[in-house]
Structure formats: C-alpha cells, structure tokens
Structure 1
C-alpha cells in the first residue's frame, strides 16, 4: 500500500521554465557547461554550480552553502515561485514516437524502509552520506526518483483527461524533446489518485537508487534532531516521478574489456566453448536476438555466443539475468574481472549506435574484446526487486531522463 502525497512545489515562473530546466550536471561537456552558465542566467545549473559566479571552484560544505544561497536568490528574483496549494504535477516528455506521461509527488521513506518501494541496485554508503549531508544543508530536492507502477486504468484516465487542457509549461529543448507540465490541485482528484495507489502492492525504483537511499538517511537524521517530530514534515518523504510500467524504456550497456587476461585468441575461444556454442560472423554485424544469447567482437570479427544450458544453473531471478550470466561465465572466470564497478580493465557503453562505437574502439586498439546483449525488461527488474536481489552494475540504461529544476521539493515544508 504505497503512500503518496501532493506537495507545494517550488517551480519556475511560466516565462522562464524553458530556460531553467537543465539536464543532469554530469551530462554536459565542459564547453557546453561553460556556455550554458555564461549565456543563460536562469539555468538551474547556476544553482548546482554556484562557484561560477566568482570564477572559483568550491567543494564540500562550502559548495553546499553556496547552492543554498543561489537557490534563495532564484526565489528572491522570482525566477522560482511556490505553489499555494498541494498538488500533483503531471509531466510529459515526447520525442519522435516515444511519449511518457507521469507525475511528480512525494513518496514515503517508511515505504522505502519497509520494502513497499522496491530497489534492484546496490548503493554505496559513502555516496549516500555525502548526498544526505548535501540535502541537509540545501534543504531542497530538484531531481526526482524515477519509479514505475503497474498500469492502472483509473490513473491513466485522470492523466489523459488532465492533459487535454492547456499545460502550465510547454517547450521543446535543443535535443528535440518536448516537455509539458500540468498542475493537479483539485482535492477530489488528488484523493482518487492516492486511493488508487493505496490499493497497489509496490512501487519499483527505476532510476535514483542513491537519491532515495540518501533521502531515507536524511529523514532519520532530521527526525532524531527534531524534538517536535510529527511525521508530517517533508523530510519524511522524497520527490518522485511515477510512470506506468508501459512507459519505461530500457536499453542495454555493452561491455568492453582491455585485454584477454593473458590468453591468446585461440585459448580464449576454447575457454568460451565450455559455456557457449560459438558461431563466427566475420565482418557481418551481429546483435543477439533472444535472451541468453550474446554478441562478441574480437580481432576484427563478430561472433554469436549461445549459452549451453547444461553448463549453467538457473537458481533465481539474478542467475537468469544476461548481465549476470556474462559475468559468471566470462568476465569473472575467464577474464579475471572481479569488481565490475571499479576494475579499470572494463568499460561500458550504451546507445542506439553503440555496437558500431564498440567495434571502432576495439579496432583502434583501445580494447581487446566487446560483448553485446539484449536489454533487461521490466519484468526482470521487478523479479530481482521482489526477491531482494541486486543487479550487476550497468545492467540498465533507463529512460525517461528527467530535467532538473522543473519542480523543486522543499524539505523545510510540512505536508498535509
């Protein structure tokens, strides 16, 4: 029974929304970031990169305090406004044939702790603590956690009805993505949506595992520091963007390895033959067409690798996951890669044309071998989460990727 709540968002004034919204900080190149900061005074990037104002690199608590200052300046200069009524915020992204419609709301850290909000990735304690410290000082959240829920006809009808009206925001960004946002503040509609979610079993985190874990850590910290804690404080919740499972897009990460762990090409292929049926395709590009089949690019040629089921035991949902199969049959025992997150010998790539990028990188000599696989699907993610298991790193690249700054969640607020 997930608990979701409307909140009073801090958001851009309508005339500035297109200028405020930004991609994740890490997605910008150095030149791109400098151009945005130099020529767009309204970009949310000014808040999260506050040292630009003084041409100074800042870090740690000094940076956190300056982030808070830039945020308050956006409020004082009326770049941001605060909504008077608690609301849900329907947000739609559209590009080419893809359209995703969901809504921003507040989700419960109690649900996260109790396993009603389910995760499929491991988090790093150091990163959790760092972001929790950041949130405690800045006192706002600007990047929601992306969660999926089972498609629901009643919720879909409300979203569809609302989106027939003129949105509060509508703009297209240079990457040709159209962004639209509607505000729902009608109490009866809010209650109907909440009731529908209270009848569900779970929500599934698709993207934002560290953000949700840090919010949970922060909630515990602020609760302990507050002698008048009531449970209605905003820090008991965190901002999420909820979308139906059918709107999730999942892409694969290919794996590229710098060497064959001391093996010759022939020795390497013989080792693989223990677990796979191997077929050589030469220079004909090959991509896997079904689960437990993999592509490999080695020494200028493509190969297909079909898992020999007699050589591998399926014991749970994790063992059936292609990224885990690749790890347990090749990466760990043959190539000697133990730590998929930190080993410098392995790198990952995603994207529509990544097979060709992988081929080019290997042909240049940057890597020795590359592997391609099919994307994980939402049912696999849910099965992993339901069993309390954790996927290998870089198992999924999930869309939509959300803009920062369209709705900001005030951690100093109180929720009704």
Structure 2
C-alpha cells in the first residue's frame, strides 16, 4: 500500500561525506548554526541554513537567503563535491549511538500516500514553520533533509537490509558527536523490485520525526502539480526524500519542559497547588530526577529537585490522554501554571533529552523558573496514537540519533 521508489541521489564524494553530513537544520538556533558552519565550512548546514552566510542583521527568511542556498548547492554539484547517480538506487543507512544500531532504507515516498494517510502523522504542524522549508525546497528544487519514517518491522525486509550490510559500505565515518554512520547502495533491480513489493504489502508507514519538513515537501509537490496540470504522477516532485526504519530498532528520548514563571505563585503556594492537582511531591534536593516509569516526573526549582508522582485518578487508557506529556499538561501546566496552548505560549520552552538534566538546571538558573524532566514516550504509544487517527501534544518525542542532511539529495526535476 505505501509506495516507495528508488531515486538518482545527489550525494557527497566519499572522502568528503563526514565533513558535509550535518544535523537537521532545526536542531540549531541561529547563533549555534553560525558557529557550526564556521567550525566546518563544508557542512551542509550552510545550505540548509543559508542565513549563516550573511550578517546577523539579515532576516533569516529573506528571499536572498533561499537564493543563496540554491547557489551554494549548485556550486557544490558543479565543482564535483557532490556526485549524481546515473540510475535510481536505494540506500541502506545505519546509525550507531552508544553501541546501539538502527538501520533504515533511504528511498522516496509518495505525497499521495501522505494525503491519503497511508503515511500517518502523530503531530500537528505550524504554518509559519512550514513556510520556511516550502521556500527552501522550492528555491533549491531539492529535498535536502530526509523525513524520518517508521514501519512495523518485517522479517523479509530485515533480511534484505542485513544482506546489503555485508557489502563494502559507500560511506563509513564517525561524526563529531560520536555517532557512527554507514551507507550501502542497492542498485540491483531484482532487490529494488522486491523491496517495493514488500513495502506495498504494508498497511502504512508513520512519520517519526520531520512533520514540518514532510508537510512542506508535500505542499511544494502540490504547487508543482498546479504549475504542471498535465503531470503524470511519475515526476520527481510527486515524491519526497525519506529514510524508513523498523519500529523495533528506534530509540526515543524524553522531551523536557521549562516554564518562565510560576504564574504569580510563591514557591510554597506552587507546591501546594501541585499536590491539590493530584501529584505526590517528594523533595530530593541535589539528586537529579530522571523518571524511571510512566506517571512520574522530575521537577527542578532553584532550591533543588522534586519527584512528582501522578495519582491513579490522573492516568488514562486513552492513547493521547494517557501520555505522560498529556498528564503533565492537563493536570499541572494548564491548571496551575496557566499554559493553555503549549504550541503558541511564549512562557514555555522544550528541551530535547539529548541535552541532559544539567541543561534544565542551567535554564532555571538563567531564564526560567521551573523545569520538568519527563519519562520518554514509547514507540508503541506513538504508533497507537497514529493508528487511532489522533495527534500527540507538541514536542512529545525526541528521536536519537538524528539523521544527517546532505548525505542524500533528491532533486524535484
């Protein structure tokens, strides 16, 4: 049912792959992006975030920024930094973090599958975040960052992947953050056809990470269709770049929360309100709290750490209401701290679990009043929400390791 297709990838010369491959554009703020491009001038981040080539006064979303991204990409293709495949291929992409491996298939997925919900999402998108990537994809005429998709593991697909990994890799390097990246190419038409048939037999795939990039790619595809009313469906703009992973190999870290103020409450009143809301509160002092089971939360205030345990009355079997991020939002953030809509409220911020608990302490000592450490959402919870046709609260999952941009580029024409 979900359709995948091979593609003529534009990819780095093997000896340059480790320098070009970059973390996703939205992992960095502007200052961090500039520092990274200065550290590694070949980093693909300079194309994904072309504002790094301008002074701080330049608007991140100015038309000349997207024009610069196109010029940089075109120049790196012209000078041989990137090479272009002569025939469509699939790629096997393995990432190893702390000894743990996950291996996916780089392929193009169908915008029609997204529109018909054969590619299921679990998160809403924000229009302003989509617009940036729409402009970037349209200007560069390329998908430069793959969408992280997941499928329910299948033995037959795993066997093809394992066989491919016995070949000599196309790329094999360790990135600056310690993640091992290996890539193998599949160009054998019999294997390509077999993979297409196996994915066609799946009921659906799921977006794990990259909802905004996916929605943007689809909207650019629809724009190109309107510009080419005689399109056949076989044009490259009908597809988007993805890497598809089996669900049993993925690792989700918590997505923690920090809030700017206590909604006018004193620390004492705040703690009382939390207990009234249905949480058991235990002070742990300097001992950091990383929740070890569902229904528990760490909380950090200037005087130290607390362990919060939700009473049974706050828990739910509903796929969304039962998520820990929902329990915290519905029973503490909203009623006690008055965070009504975490998607737009400027008083709340989100901290990926990869940054650790020290980052929560740092934020409270600098620009925030309270921090919450979360128990990670599981992959089964994510799939259950998507299968129910429901949506998670924003910032419910933080996947690690992150897929690199610049290893595979898919041109729309």
TM over 0.5: yes
- Structure 2: distance between partners of 1:220 and 1:185: 29
Q: Secondary structure at the match of 2:150?
A: strand
Could you report, residue by residue, the CA deviation over 1:238-296 in whole angstroms, capped at 9, with x for unpaired residues? 00011111221111122222322122333322322231233333444333222112222
Q: Provide closer, same or farther for how the CA distance between residues 285 and 70 of structure 1 changes in structure 2, counting only shifts above 3 A.
A: closer
Q: CA deviation at 1:231?
A: 0.5
Instruction: Note if 1:300 corresponds to 2:303.
Output: yes
Could you report, residue by residue, the CA deviation over 1:355-410 in whole angstroms, capped at 9, with x for unpaired residues? 33323543x36433222221000011111112222222221111231111111001
Equivalent residue in structure 1 for 2:124, among 104, 122, 125: 122
Of residues 6-15 and 29-38 in structure 1, the stretch that sits farther from structure 2 once superposed is: 29-38
1:332 paired residue number: 334
Conserved? CA contact 2:289–2:373, under 8 Å = no
1:287 paired residue number: 290
RMSD over aligned Cα atoms: 2.5
- Structure 1: distance between partners of 2:332 and 2:50: 45
Conserved? CA contact 1:5–1:106, under 8 Å = yes
2:64 paired residue number: 62
Q: Provide closer, same or farther for how the CA distance between residues 7 and 321 of structure 1 changes in structure 2, counting only shifts above 3 A.
A: same
1:19 paired residue number: 19
2:213 paired residue number: 211
Structure 1 residue ranges, 4+ long, deviating more than 6 angstroms after superposition:
29-32, 51-56
What does residue range 163-312 of structure 1 map to in structure 2 within 5 Å? 163-274=165-276, 275-310=278-313, 312=314
Gaps of 5+ in 1: none
Aligned residue pair count = 410
Q: Secondary structure at the match of 1:181?
A: strand
Conserved? CA contact 1:152–1:244, under 8 Å = yes
1:44 paired residue number: 44
1:135 paired residue number: 137
Conserved? CA contact 1:248–1:400, under 8 Å = no
Q: CA deviation at 1:131?
A: 2.3
1:4 paired residue number: 4
Gaps of 5+ in 2: none
Could you report, residue by residue, the CA deviation over 1:81-130 in whole angstroms, capped at 9, with x for unpaired residues? 11111110111122331212112100011111111101111111233234
Conserved? CA contact 2:179–2:401, under 8 Å = no
Conserved? CA contact 1:109–1:238, under 8 Å = yes
Q: CA deviation at 1:170?
A: 1.5
TM-score by length of 2: 0.91
2:160 paired residue number: 158
